[in-house]
Amino acid sequence: MPKDNNTQQRRPLSARRVAMLGSVAMIGATIALAGPLGHFQFVEQAFAAAPTSQTQGPAGFADLVAKVKPAVISVRVKLDEESNANASGPESENLPPSLQGTPFEKFFRQFGDGMQGGKLQRHQVITGVGSGFFISADGYAVTNNHVVDHAKSVQVTTDDGTIYTAKVIGTDPKTDLALIKVDGKTDFSFANLENQVPRVGDWVVAVGNPYGLGGTVTAGIISAEGRDIGSGPYDNYIQIDAPINKGNSGGPTFDTNGNVIGVNTAIYSPSGGSVGIGFDVPATTVKMIVAQLKEHGTVTRGWLGVQVQPVTSGIAESLGLKQPRGALVDEAQADTPAAQAGIRPGDVITSVNGNAIKDSGTLAREISGMAPGSSAKLDILRKGETKTFTVTLAKMPNETRKVARADESEQGSKGIPHLGLSVAPAGDVGGAGNKGVVVTAIEPDGPAAEHGLQSGDVILDVAGKSVSSAADLRNALSDAKSEGKHDVLMHVKTSDNTHFVAMPIG
């Protein structure tokens, strides 16, 4: 979870957001910087403002709740924040004289703004709360990474009010999961992770610690599955409408059999509170991640070494595919398993080990779920023919490649009017290489600009035909049009990557 270094004004520990129509808030820790009364008044106001609703459902969930609630825990973390902001001399020098020696002195040291003489306090303890649940009798428990991220200490409170000290075994920021452990006891109540994929429409019960209030139960249904909210490369969330709020992060969602179907992780929230759209990490993912965290403390993923993009309807039409499915290879990076196996740009990966690939996200999840060194059988569509490749996966590197667009190059001489761009041979433009044609100018409202092309991009081939001049480009477009195609696939290189663009030519 990204940290805010401003100690004057701090967001809740878990309040990170990602773009999705409005905002999607990670719902983990609720920060308590005020006393219990002030915190409760805030929660009370929040509840008073929330609209009431009634959901028709089964006769009741009381028996289910009595069965599963003892496995659910509240998670409290502490962060020690140091500040070097103009503090000098004994801390009492920063206190107003009226507070020195009073019961408020300790409170002021910890939470006060240190306004005396414009000096700030040098030390602050931040407390956050989230949720979690035991997965074994010997004290292993699951929560969210953003709940325990950078925690100096972790405490858990069980349903009967007992407080235990916990340690962080391992975390996985890419799926926002963490494994913690309470030592010294072997008879904790625990929950089982569901083996079956839940169905949309099934009843679910979410249990957690919203706003730090302790064990709270809400009910709803699974409203969607396979959600990608843009929070990470392996997004595959279960969407539920059981109300969950800040502090619910890391808590479980149960099916009617009492098995955990997912871990509460994010909410869609224009206002910061629940609007009935929550997102859970599926239990199948939790099982895989927790197993690695328990054994190694970290997660190791398989790596193929390709840059891919989804197959849009335009790309599918240009490739002769009946449906826009699969992952289109933009680039097989040098000295990677993909390149060594013979995978090329323009290949469409349609399945891995017999599992159909819906899009690039599906491919990422399939490959990352396999161990480095294992073999993967890839079915690939190449120029209308189906081929099969066996690839030995490598270990995913830690570095993240940054993609940047090229800067504008000098003006070319020949234009392609119906696309709204001008090009020049790559060999005539410094730094562009020797292959393809460089986009040297582009109309802001033209078809090329609308499909993402920019000045400085290099068009390597069109419809599988290499181009080295404006004439080559025109001829390739003309041939594609004469074959009755409405879209043509362009292989485009930027400064750091290559990708395909389906350009309409009708």
pLDDT digits (tens, 9 = 90+) for 236-256: 899 999 888 888 889 999 999
DSSP state of 428: G
pLDDT value at residue 165: 94
pLDDT value at residue 24: 55
pLDDT value at residue 31: 43
Q: Is the dihedral of CA 454, 457, 458, 462 positive or negative?
A: negative
Q: Would the pLDDT of 223 be above 90?
A: yes
Return the minimum-mean-pLDDT range out of 75-79, 221-225, 287-291: 75-79
The amino acid present at 211, given as its one-letter code, is Y
Instruction: Band the pLDDT of 52: cuts 50, 70, 90.
Output: very low
Instruction: Band the pLDDT of 452: cuts 50, 70, 90.
Output: confident
Q: Would the pLDDT of 370 be above 50?
A: yes
**Exposed, middle or buried: residue 91 (CB in 10 Å: 0-12, 13-18, 19+)?**
middle
pLDDT value at residue 402: 31
The amino acid present at 157, given as its one-letter code, is T
Give the number of other CB atoms < 10 A from CB of residue 230: 9
pLDDT value at residue 48: 39
Q: Would the pLDDT of 341 be above 60?
A: yes
Mean pLDDT over all residues of the chain? 76
Residues with catalytic annotation?
Answer: 146, 176, 249
Instruction: Band the pLDDT of 441: cuts 50, 70, 90.
Output: confident
Return the minimum-mean-pLDDT range out of 58-67, 187-196, 386-395: 58-67
Higher pLDDT, 440 or 3: 440
Instruction: Let me know the angle formed at the C-alpha of 505 by 503 and 506, rounded to the nearest 5 degrees.
Output: 135
Instruction: Band the pLDDT of 506: cuts 50, 70, 90.
Output: low
Mean pLDDT of 78-82: 65
pLDDT value at residue 232: 67
pLDDT value at residue 81: 57
Give the separation between CA 307 and CA 499, rounded to whole angstroms: 8
Mapping DSSP to helix (H, G, I), strand (E, B) and coil, where does residue 452 land? coil
High-pLDDT (> 70) share of the chain, %: 71
pLDDT digits (tens, 9 = 90+) for 99-146: 444 444 444 444 443 333 344 344 455 667 889 999 999 999 999 998
DSSP state letters, 386-401? EEEEEEE-EEPPS---
pLDDT value at residue 28: 52
pLDDT value at residue 260: 96
Q: Tell me which residue of 400, 323, 318, 393 sits closest to 357, measured CA to CA.
A: 323
Instruction: Band the pLDDT of 281: cuts 50, 70, 90.
Output: very high
Q: Would the pLDDT of 451 be above 60?
A: yes
pLDDT digits (tens, 9 = 90+) for 5-42: 443 443 333 333 333 334 455 555 544 444 433 333 33
Mean pLDDT of 390-401: 73
Higher pLDDT, 353 or 451: 353
Domains and CATH numbers, the chain: 9-42+57-83+122-299 (2.40.10.120), 302-395 (2.30.42.10), 414-504 (2.30.42.10)
Answer yes or no: are the C-beta atoms of 247 and 146 closer than 8 Å.
no
DSSP state of 182: -
